Amino acid sequence: MKRSLLSLAFMSSIIVTAACGENNEEQGEGNPSNDDETFEVAVIPSQSIGEMEEGLSSLEDHLSKQLSTPVEVTHYPNYNAVVEAINYSHVDLAYFGPVTYLIAYEQSGAEAVVTQSIDGNPYYYSYIVTQPDAPWDSLDELLKNVDEVDFAFGSQSSTSGFTIPGYELMERNVYENEGSYEFSSVRFTGSHDITANAVANGDVDAGAIDSAIFQALINEGAIEEDDYKIIWESQQLYQYPWAVPHDTEDDRKDQIREAFLMIEDEEILSIFGGADEFVEASHEEYDSILEAARTMGLLDPEEDEDN
């Protein structure tokens, strides 16, 4: 890439330390990334940096050409770092999960503008998977012996790896929080690929995983489809959004949408879940996740969801 990626050690030290009111005060000073005329893009680590580097470099080149400005794509190591960056307008565009987007939306007014279509539609699901020879063919059957089940979530900030399946299990009265549940054990693996391997290896009996990442791991040969059985599927979830800070001008939003809609480069599309194309997105597509996010305590209950 034209500029080196920030070191993970440095970026992992970034935490969200300011209250929403402090965010708004700081944001009033304008967008720092515009001062050096570089268009800053933050992406979460859906794959290893090495696997994404060529695609991100191609994305830099494409956006730079279409936006007529230098572009730097930085691969951020965690969700909180991306939220802080977009809240303070330290970046011009961010790619992250739906729940993380909702946090940024409520804290600072970040706005979804684009997402990706995979297998012909902009949706994905949360799966609960187990081993193919497990004695359960449905979540109902698994929960009949819940006290004998070792269960795995992904990251606590993941929509499909925690929020949506966690909400389902909370509604079924078998999961309350990290320290209170009916399972034999609950662990957080931190990523979908680790969850997949934990299930396949029998380290846990079942785990929650992103359907698009699950399929991508199968397609690239990282896991074997025959090692799994899907016993639960969530409702449709709108794909990961690309969002801009609250102070982005309408003309710039239109330019960003148009730039992404033009992308046909397979090298770029492949690193975002094996996307077919990029499509327009808006905040309304993510409203369905709000209830689960609030119930799981991931959004400030005192915040107005329409702010």
Percent of the chain with pLDDT over 70: 83
Q: Is the pLDDT of residue 47 over 60?
A: no
Task: Read off the CATH number of the domain in which 186 is found.
Answer: 3.40.190.10
- Structural domain includes residue 2: no
90 lies in the same domain as 138: no
174 lies in the same domain as 151: yes
pLDDT digits (tens, 9 = 90+) for 234-253: 999 999 999 999 999 999 99
Least confident window among 21-35, 92-106, 120-134, 290-304 = 21-35
96 lies in the same domain as 195: no
What is the DSSP code (8-state) at residue 137? S
87 lies in the same domain as 32: yes
Percent of the chain with pLDDT over 90: 65
Give the pLDDT confidence score for residue 14 in this predicted structure: 34
- Structural domain includes residue 83: yes
- Structural domain includes residue 255: yes
Average pLDDT over residues 256-268: 96
Give the domain-ending residue among 234, 255, 273. Answer: 234
Give the pLDDT confidence score for residue 45 in this predicted structure: 60
Give the pLDDT confidence score for residue 288 in this predicted structure: 83
pLDDT band per the 50, 70, 90 thresholds, residue 49: low
Q: Is the pLDDT of residue 93 over 90?
A: yes
Q: Is the pLDDT of residue 64 over 60?
A: yes
Average pLDDT over residues 150-165: 93
SS3 of the chain: helix, strand, coil, percent, to 5: 40, 20, 40
203 lies in the same domain as 244: no
31 lies in the same domain as 70: yes
- Structural domain includes residue 302: no
Cβ contacts of 114 within 8 Å, gap of 6 or more: 241, 242, 256, 257, 260, 261, 278, 279, 280, 281
Distance CA 108, CA 24 (A): 7
Range of the domain at 174: 126-234
Strands of the chain (E only): list them. 39-43, 71-75, 93-95, 111-117, 123-124, 126-130, 150-153, 175-177, 180-181, 185-188, 206-210, 229-233, 237-238, 242-244, 277-280
- Structural domain includes residue 305: no
26 lies in the same domain as 38: yes
184 lies in the same domain as 101: no
- Structural domain includes residue 1: no
Q: pTM for this structure?
A: 0.75
- Structural domain includes residue 301: no
Give the pLDDT confidence score for residue 31 in this predicted structure: 40
Give the pLDDT confidence score for residue 198 in this predicted structure: 97
pLDDT band per the 50, 70, 90 thresholds, residue 36: low
Give the domain-ending residue among 234, 260, 280. Answer: 234
Q: Is the pLDDT of residue 276 over 80?
A: yes
211 lies in the same domain as 267: no
Tokens of 13: 């030290």
- Angle made by CA atoms 270, 271, 274, in degrees to the nearest 5: 40
3-state class (DSSP) for residue 129: strand
260 lies in the same domain as 114: yes
The count of domains in the chain is: 2
**CA proximity to 58, closest of 284, 285, 263:** 263
Residue 13 vs residue 38, higher pLDDT: 38
**CA proximity to 281, closest of 236, 243, 237:** 243
- Structural domain includes residue 303: no
Average pLDDT over residues 249-270: 96
Q: Is the pLDDT of residue 7 over 50?
A: no
